Amino acid sequence: MFVKKKKVEMAGPSGKKEKVAKAGPSGGGGKKKKDVKKETGLGLSVKKDENFGEWYSEVCKHEMIEYYDISGCYILRPWSMAIWEIMQTFFDAEIKKMKVKNCYFPLFVSPGVLEKEKDHIEGFAPEVAWVTKSGKSDLEVPIAIRPTSETVMYPYYSKWIRGHRDLPLKLNQWCNVVRWEFSNPTPFIRSREFLWQEGHTAFASKEEADKEVLEILELYRRIYEEYLAVPVVKGMKSENEKFAGGLYTTSVEAFIPNTGRGVQGATSHCLGQNFAKMFEINFENEKGETEMVWQNSWAYSTRTIGVMIMTHGDDKGLILPPKVASVQVVVIPVPYKDANTQGIFDACTATVAALSEAGIRWKYSNWEMKGVPLRIEIGPRDLENDQVRTVRRDNGVKEDIPRGSLVEHVKELLEKIQANMYEVAKQKREACVEEIKTWDEFIVALNKKKLILAPWCDEEEVERDVKARTKGETGAAKTLCSPFEQPELPEGTLCFASGKPAKKWTYWGRSY
Amino acid sequence: MFVKKKKVEMAGPSGKKEKVAKAGPSGGGGKKKKDVKKETGLGLSVKKDENFGEWYSEVCKHEMIEYYDISGCYILRPWSMAIWEIMQTFFDAEIKKMKVKNCYFPLFVSPGVLEKEKDHIEGFAPEVAWVTKSGKSDLEVPIAIRPTSETVMYPYYSKWIRGHRDLPLKLNQWCNVVRWEFSNPTPFIRSREFLWQEGHTAFASKEEADKEVLEILELYRRIYEEYLAVPVVKGMKSENEKFAGGLYTTSVEAFIPNTGRGVQGATSHCLGQNFAKMFEINFENEKGETEMVWQNSWAYSTRTIGVMIMTHGDDKGLILPPKVASVQVVVIPVPYKDANTQGIFDACTATVAALSEAGIRWKYSNWEMKGVPLRIEIGPRDLENDQVRTVRRDNGVKEDIPRGSLVEHVKELLEKIQANMYEVAKQKREACVEEIKTWDEFIVALNKKKLILAPWCDEEEVERDVKARTKGETGAAKTLCSPFEQPELPEGTLCFASGKPAKKWTYWGRSY
């Protein structure tokens, strides 16, 4: 069902006046206390097209995020946490259907275990946070905080897996991880601590592992496209960009037209047998022979929310896709002097009651900035005509609908909004795609902030070279992914960068 | 509904043989690999009454916990995580009805903020873990890992709360916390990292705060008594034992007869206005005057699972209350030679299908040790009589029930098991309670591992004195709580310890 309980809220009629005068935190005023930037409460102070970075930060601050006194750490407020919970509910149920079970492994890793897989630790080492003291005492050995849990978990996989009957082993955990990055912390997109799920599975055969990689990737696509209304490309990461220590990495890639940057949405890795070798994860097959397991790991994080904000927000603030909005409709009484005020209020109350049996709350809130998908206004004229006025947040379209068919109309509208948000985002993304053949075209497209589809020889050395040659103020270009859906590659096509025969089409661009 | 999907599993007929021979991790064998203690797979190696500590550790290791290579940290395996998830689902829904919203605050605290409330930090300082390095670089300032989040959150409460319309503010988070304890790590009961929820609320009046403290405490009672079938006492903690920096602490207290120790089950604190003062959490009331808020915080943790294991387990292993058991019924084919084997298997399959539409899995599992509440056996005689044999895990009672009314009977049985487990645990607890009047009686009762109810003058000095005088090998006695339900206290009753006039009845004992 699309309209859920507690998803309808009622706004106060004098909201505007209150907002400016009282300067509550949701009103965005805040002249009274220290550290709070002056905001008008009537809109954002910058435009999305003019200063994207500032705009993003400002939108996030509208009850999605609170900046924290430790750089790179952010508070997830209920307005964003509710979105995370909705995605969790979907994904958790789906993986449970696949017989994945939840568990919880410790936050801490001992150095010996962390450093067991060389490529893996090289990828993470610079970002690892170390605990060296408790109370006033130094620890005997410093202890790391997990940046991801492969090395935390796999010694125990080695212990638990003995025979083919113990396979597949499919575990998942919902937890926090820490990567102490120093460059450009950005709420949701790049933070020192973030929330995610990490799935870790072990199979008897590569075929089973390969299959699961794509099943999980499809769930990630659905989170982006069906829930967040954000179009993504499914594809394969290059050797340079794959998960450190793994065999291959698939991903869903989103694109932010305003900045011309790709953003890795979520990754599903086949680890092959590399970790199995390092951690001695063996099993006895049906013939009594010892074999190594095949492993996958896969994760998506609160980064999803950042991609959604960047994709849909406008100069008025956030726009939430109905499926993930914790409030889907705001009902607003619009009284005029001499009008039947009581009648309007009664109609509002009845409207709220009809849409939902719970959660009626008078809210002096900036619902537009907070992105509530649908607004319902009820004024004197509406009362006369036994109708309500709906205003869509995504495109501003107004429509009068009879009160008799309120619920059906609202459900239909929310579905239309969800579909439209996806369509609009997809069209914008499509408009950014540029197919190129030569280095010169590549550079032109890159400077035009395009999502570049180029024929590539698939050599690591060439990707490193492209990175080096494009290093500039706005960051080097790299491969985003090679889409599973490949356009035709005519024989004789050459790599745009090396001039060698091209092996595949690959997306290139700058990235978050 | 009591029988849920996926809560019925089917065991393999040759389970026993396989278990011993193949030594899978669930079989408990484990002769093949290093570090794994030899276990018979046919029961526990120690008895609950003989060596409680060893017994507890062994029961936990049967797929609830895996010991980790960092002391005091444990892996929560799916068998225990599923219990945590069931409690989460219940509690999360209940607090959402109370309009509490979920959020997420960072794991890290800067030292300045952590140390702002003096009593509070004194209580936690020795156990705080400090991050001092990232990668190979020293941090400019060491950063603490949250032992609890009062000081993490309240600077932002100060920012968000302006006027009376911003109140009440009710936030909760599900997260991990770290307390680097050095004494006696015990799975679930005392670990360096654990999972919990922490609720933090702010109100305009003390009355509202007081009311919520008890509402939350009632939810904690329900978790223990209705879900975990563990009887608890609701009451007030003494001044010595209350939350550091708070006004008063209420708790639910459980008691472990085998060790004669109380265990604090969960706490609901009224913080009064102390933190409000330190963190300047003020609001403008309806008259335009500035007031301080009244605050509560409340938490329960994975410790709940440990108390459940200690309370119900027996010499065969774990006994799970049906309400929190991720598998509620195991169906076991019992074939004999010459019997209608296929018929037995068909009957088992039909039984599983009748009880649940999902989750049929052949499991060579030690269901008894893992505590599955109900076992169903089907052998040749059952087939003849169109019946199944049920065997209760809690009391071993066997009953033949007609296949025609299988589902109703099983539902009824699970409800009976749940009720019986609570009753048995309650009777055992009651048998430990001893009302005493004098110091001599107190010492005798303490040595008999009793839960001691004593008249007390309620003076901090006296409690400290009792602690000092009982300090011995098994730990000092202290107050557990003063029960809300007070027996009559005749005028002239004297404190058992000080001889001064008694003010209340209080539970005393050693504790975890």
Averaged pLDDT for residues B68-81: 96
Task: Give the ranges where B356-505 is alpha helix by DSSP (H).
Answer: 380-385, 406-432, 439-447, 460-470
Averaged pLDDT for residues A292-318: 96
Averaged pLDDT for residues B41-48: 79
Q: What is the pLDDT of residues A140-180, one digit of tens each?
A: 999 999 999 999 999 999 999 999 999 999 999 999 999 99
Chain A contact probe: residue of B101, B122, B134, B169 with most A CBs at under 10 A: B134
In which element (H, E) is residue B150 found? helix B150-160
Averaged pLDDT for residues B356-370: 55
Q: Which contacts (CB < 8 Å, 24+ apart) does range A12-18 have?
A: A12/A362, A12/A363, A12/A364, A13/A332, A13/A333, A13/A334, A13/A335, A14/A364, A15/A332, A15/A363, A15/A364, A15/A365, A16/A42, A18/A364, A18/B165
Averaged pLDDT for residues B334-356: 76
Q: Confidence class of residue A37 from pLDDT cuts 50, 70 and 90?
A: very low
Does residue B424 register a pLDDT over 80? Answer: yes
B155 at A interface, C-beta within 8 A: yes
- The residue among B408, B321, B333 whose CA lies nearest residue B372 is B321
A404 at B interface, C-beta within 8 A: no
Task: Dig out the tokens for B424 from the structure.
Answer: 């048995």
Question: For residues A226 and A219, what is the distance between their CA atoms, to the nearest angstrom?
Answer: 10
Contacts B136 to A, Cβ<8 Å: 126
Among A356-360, B69-73, B106-110, B216-220, name the one with the lowest average pLDDT. A356-360
Q: Confidence class of residue A42 from pLDDT cuts 50, 70 and 90?
A: low
B363 at A interface, C-beta within 8 A: no
Averaged pLDDT for residues A12-27: 33
What is the least distance, in Å, from the CA of B207 to any CA of chain A?
22
At B382 the pLDDT is 85
Question: For residues A198 and A267, what is the distance between their CA atoms, to the nearest angstrom?
Answer: 10
Q: Confidence class of residue A23 from pLDDT cuts 50, 70 and 90?
A: very low
Output B377 or B450, whichever has higher pLDDT.
B450
Task: Dig out the tokens for A47 from the structure.
Answer: 């435009």
CB contact (8 A) between residue A23 and residue B70: no
At A78 the pLDDT is 96
Model ipTM value: 0.86
Q: What is the pLDDT of residues A396-432, one digit of tens each?
A: 999 999 988 888 888 899 999 999 999 999 999 999 9
Q: What is the pLDDT of residues B248-295, one digit of tens each?
A: 999 999 999 999 999 999 999 999 999 999 999 999 999 999 999 999
Question: For residues A33 and A433, what is the distance between their CA atoms, to the nearest angstrom?
Answer: 46
CB contact (8 A) between residue B156 and residue A66: yes
Q: What is the pLDDT of residues A271-291, one digit of tens each?
A: 999 999 999 999 999 999 999
What separation, in Å, do the N-terminal and C-terminal C-alpha atoms of chain A show?
35
Contacts B158 to A, Cβ<8 Å: 33
Closest CA in chain B for residue A32: B162
Does residue B366 register a pLDDT over 60? Answer: yes
CB atoms within 10 A of CB B50: 9
Task: Give the ranges where B12-103 is alpha helix by DSSP (H).
Answer: 15-22, 52-61, 78-97
Averaged pLDDT for residues B324-349: 79
Q: What is the pLDDT of residues B14-42, one digit of tens each?
A: 333 332 222 233 333 333 443 434 344 45
Chain A contact probe: residue of B63, B73, B167, B286 with most A CBs at under 10 A: B73
- The residue among A384, A382, A358, A366 whose CA lies nearest residue A330 is A366
What is the least distance, in Å, from the CA of B197 to any CA of chain A?
13
Question: For residues B401 and B46, what is the distance between their CA atoms, to the nearest angstrom?
Answer: 35
Q: How far is CA B317 from CA B35, B45, B391, B485, in A?
A: 22, 10, 16, 34
B336 at A interface, C-beta within 8 A: no
Chain B contact probe: residue of A132, A146, A162 with most B CBs at under 10 A: A162
* Cβ atoms of residues A237 and A248 within 8 Å: yes
pTM attached to this predicted model: 0.87
At A217 the pLDDT is 97
Residue from the list A126, A128, A193 with its beta carbon closest to the beta carbon of B107: A193
Question: For residues B145 and B68, what is the distance between their CA atoms, to the nearest angstrom?
Answer: 20
Question: For residues A104 and B79, what is the distance between their CA atoms, to the nearest angstrom?
Answer: 11
Residue with tokens 């265990």: B263
* Cβ atoms of residues A260 and A432 within 8 Å: yes
Cα A213 → chain centroid: 19
At B364 the pLDDT is 38
A384 at B interface, C-beta within 8 A: no
What is the least distance, in Å, from the CA of B134 to any CA of chain A?
4
A180 at B interface, C-beta within 8 A: yes
Output B438 or B475, whichever has higher pLDDT.
B438
CB contact (8 A) between residue A70 and residue B33: no
Highest mean pLDDT among A192-196, A323-327, B403-407: A192-196
Q: Count Cα atoms within 13 angstroms, Cβ side, for B479.
A: 31
Task: Dig out the tokens for B268 from the structure.
Answer: 């609901």
Name the DSSP letter for residue A226.
I
Strand intervals (E) in A346-419: 362-363, 374-378, 387-392, 398-402
At B348 the pLDDT is 80
Task: Dig out the tokens for A445 from the structure.
Answer: 């497209």
At B121 the pLDDT is 85
Q: Confidence class of residue A349 from pLDDT cuts 50, 70 and 90?
A: confident
Name the amino acid, one letter, at B287: K
At B26 the pLDDT is 35
CB contact (8 A) between residue A102 and residue B113: no
**What does pLDDT average to over chain A?**
88
Highest mean pLDDT among A384-398, B340-354, B361-375: A384-398
At A404 the pLDDT is 86
Contacts B161 to A, Cβ<8 Å: 25
Question: For residues A423 and A420, what is the distance between their CA atoms, to the nearest angstrom?
Answer: 5
* Cβ atoms of residues A90 and A223 within 8 Å: yes
Name the DSSP letter for residue B227.
I
